[in-house]
A = this chain, B = another copy of it.
Amino acid sequence: MTQENQDPSVPPACNSVVNSAAYCNGVRVAYVPVADLEDAWKHSDRFLWVGLYEPSEQLLSHIQKAFGLHDLAIEDAHNAHQRPKLEVYDDSMFVVIRTARLADSGEHRMEFGETHVFYGPRYIITVRHGSLTSHIGLRNRCEARPQLLAKGEGFVLHAVMDFIVDQYFPVLDALQNELDELEDAIFSGKFVRSVTARLYHLRRDLLALKQAVTPLIDVSSHLTRMSSNLLPADTRPYFQDVHDHVIRIADLIDNLQQLSHSALEANLALISVAQNDDTKRLAAWAAILAVPTMIAGLYGMNFKYMPETEWAFGYPMAIAIMLGTCCFLYRWFRKVGWL
């Protein structure tokens, strides 16, 4: 218990067994040291729930021997960087799920972790990799509902998956907020570089999320349709519920992906519109300035016989012509919408 109550943001480096307990009728009845796991599993009808964090190879071999787990599953559980998957063996299952959470720094960047689950009759072993959020909350929540926990390891598997899947929603909310901010920036007409860069990073995050979630659809659908006796039939609606959540997450990601692409296209179109507007404005002002310059040049010519230069009111007249032309041009450009 005490091990689990430590600060969850510090990975338990020295000891990778986060918790290991036996449950009977939905109530935790004993703490089981790793050395006694095999005995506790084989010689009682209690079910065991073991939580590990980045275990060493030695610890995993010990666990493997205790529950007779498959070589390849143990190899996978030791190396992170697995794709979410569900391996069904004769009398056990191996589930890999990726976890996602927002990094503590404020840039909406995500941290991915992995949770591997060994599941068999009367035992469930969870192995966390990289994910800083521990499962304390989860275990407490399960223990608070003994009538459900009494259903055994199938319910715990559902609870673990539900817990991890629900962590995707705040991540998606944050990305949705980021997109909303970007939309505002785009349609307010500020085409700064950071908007494009943020859109790109948003799309990269969405791609990473999608790759974490898409294989989960198959995993949860498989668990829903599974006709093995590893999972009691009455847990199926619960896995169907997880499956619905995963589908909704995939839908949300898809939606955000398409919206962010539309936003990028809108951004490009608006940059073009702005460029067009600026070109017109530039052209209009250039014309307004060019005309008096040309008239001034005209009266700057050194011809001997230029009647206007002799007139008393030649100079004010020239200034008047210049001002008049500029005013006329200004009004005309306003009318045609170039200014």
A residues apposed to B, CB below 8 Å: 70, 72, 82-83, 85, 87, 89, 183, 187, 189, 191-193, 196-197, 199-200, 203-204, 207-208, 211, 237-238, 240-241, 244, 247-248, 251, 255, 258-259, 262-276, 278-283, 285-287, 289-294, 296-315, 318-319, 322
Residues of B within 8 A of A307 (CB): 315
Q: Can you list 23 A-B pairs with a CB-CB distance of less than 8 A?
A: A89-B237, A187-B197, A193-B270, A207-B258, A207-B259, A208-B255, A275-B275, A278-B279, A279-B282, A282-B283, A283-B285, A289-B291, A289-B294, A292-B298, A296-B301, A299-B301, A299-B303, A302-B302, A303-B314, A303-B318, A305-B311, A305-B315, A307-B315
Could you tell me if A273 and B196 are in contact, using CB atoms closer than 8 angstroms? Answer: yes
Q: Give the CA-CA distance A203 to B183 in the complex, in Å.
A: 13
A319: chain B residues within 8 A (beta carbon) = 298
Asked if residues A303 and B294 are in contact (CB atoms below 8 Å), the reply is: no
B87, B280, B285, B303: the one within 8 Å of A240 (CB): B87
Contact across chains for A286 and B290 when beta carbons are under 8 A apart:
yes
Given A262-B200, A302-B306, A273-B271 contact (CB < 8 Å): yes
> Which B residues are CB-close (under 8 A) to A313?
305
Q: How many copies does the complex hold?
A: 5
Name the distance in Å between A173's Cβ and chain B's nearest Cβ: 12
A270 to chain B: which residues have CB within 8 Å? 193, 196-197
The residue on B at minimum CB distance from A318 is: B301
Given A72-B237, A196-B270, 19 other A-B residues pairs in contact with their CB atoms under 8 A: A70-B237, A89-B237, A187-B197, A196-B266, A199-B266, A204-B259, A268-B269, A275-B279, A282-B282, A286-B286, A286-B290, A289-B290, A289-B291, A289-B294, A297-B297, A298-B319, A300-B300, A301-B315, A303-B315
Instruction: Indicate which residue in B192, B237, B297, B318 contacts A296 across the interface (CB closer than 8 Å).
Output: B297
Q: Check if B298 sits within 8 Å of A241, measured CB to CB.
A: no
Contact A262-B204, Cβ < 8 Å, known A191-B276, A293-B297, A297-B297: yes
Whether A263 lies near B200 (C-beta < 8 A) is: yes
In the complex, what residues of B have CB within 8 A of residue A244's CB? 82-83, 85
The 3 closest A-B pairs by CB, nearest first: A296-B297, A299-B301, A282-B283
Name the B residues within 8 Å of A297 (CB-CB).
292-293, 296-297, 300
Give chain B nearest CB distance to A178 CB in angstroms.
15
| Cβ contact within 8 Å between A273 and B238 | no
